[in-house]
Amino acid sequence: MKPDATTIDIYNSKANDYTNLSKDADQDIRLENFAKALPAKARVLDYGCGPGTSAAYFADQGMVTHAFDASKEMVKLTSRHPLVKVWQAGFHEFNEVDTYDGVWASFSLLHAPRSDIEGLLVAIHKSLKVGGKFCLSVKLGKGEARDTLGRLYTYYEHKELERLLRATKFTWENHFNGSGKGLDGTISKWISVFAHA
């Protein structure tokens, strides 16, 4: 399904606010752990990259870094890094095969409808080389809802993620739980799952 237009409009209009909110994301231990698990000169994708903070981190580590996002303002921000190859696209358009050593999907796939998630995970699995690494971060909870800004969210429970990753042939390695304040000012619980193809 095409990206939710309201959600993308909000990211376009609040791209700078989001950048300020996530400006320390490159100091996140999850990012460091993910990068360490990849081979030297790995080919890595920042899937739903936002302002490209993670993509810039990967590129600075010497990785061949690709990134995409449906928001043109986010793509513009990500393109400031000369070594990141970034393009504007929706999740549904992504169909690489056997290309990446790692796919980093940080709080992006939570904007896909639940009915799409399994197909999108299958596409990510196909895009990874054998044993390629995947990190998926989403907010925890039940159902689908718009936040106070109007962004459409799908919330996941731990067990559902286990089932989804198993069904799409990923091997769950470990996970981190945490909580944090989002762009709408509310605090949410999240999970980051580390898996491999």
Ligand X SMILES: C[S@@+](CC[C@H](N)C(=O)[O-])C[C@H]1O[C@@H](n2cnc3c(N)ncnc32)[C@H](O)[C@@H]1O
Listed ranges 34-42, 56-64, 66-74, 127-135: which one lies at the site for ligand X (CB under 6 A): 66-74
| Closest residue to ligand X: CB criterion | 50
Taking the least distance from each CB to ligand X, the nearer of 40 and 133 is 133
Find residue 189's DSSP bridge partners. 179
Q: Which of 14, 43, 48, 125 binds ligand X (CB under 6 A)?
A: 48
Taking the least distance from each CB to ligand X, the nearer of 147 and 162 is 147
Taking the least distance from each CB to ligand X, the nearer of 130 and 179 is 179
Q: Could you give the CA distance from residue 132 to residue 101 in angstroms, rounded to a whole number?
A: 5
Site string for ligand X, 7-46 (x = CB under 6 A): xx--x----------x--x---------------------
Find residue 84's DSSP bridge partners. 65
Q: Does residue 71 interact with ligand X by CB under 6 A?
A: yes
Number of residues binding to ligand X, judged by CB under 6 A? 21
8 A C-beta contact, residue 52 and residue 26: no
Q: Could you give the CA distance from residue 184 to residue 148 in angstroms, rounded to a whole number?
A: 6
Least separation in angstroms between CB 97 and ligand X: 19
For the chain, the three-class secondary structure string (H helix, E strand, C coil) is: CCCCHHHHHHHHHCHHHHHHHCCCHHHCHHHHHHHHCCCCCCEEEEECCCCCHHHHHHHHCCCEEEEEECCHHHHHHHCCCCCEEEEECCHHHCCCCCCEEEEEEECCHHHCCHHHHHHHHHHHHHHEEEEEEEEEEEEECCCEEECCCCCEEECECHHHHHHHHHHCCCEEEEEEEEEEECCCCCEEEEEEEEEEC
Taking the least distance from each CB to ligand X, the nearer of 6 and 171 is 6
Listed ranges 28-36, 70-78, 127-135, 160-168: which one lies at the site for ligand X (CB under 6 A): 70-78
Least separation in angstroms between CB 165 and ligand X: 19
Site string for ligand X, 94-133 (x = CB under 6 A): ------------xxx--xx---------------------
Chain residues binding ligand X by CB under 6 A are 3, 7-8, 11, 22, 25, 48-50, 53, 69-71, 74, 90-91, 106-108, 111-112
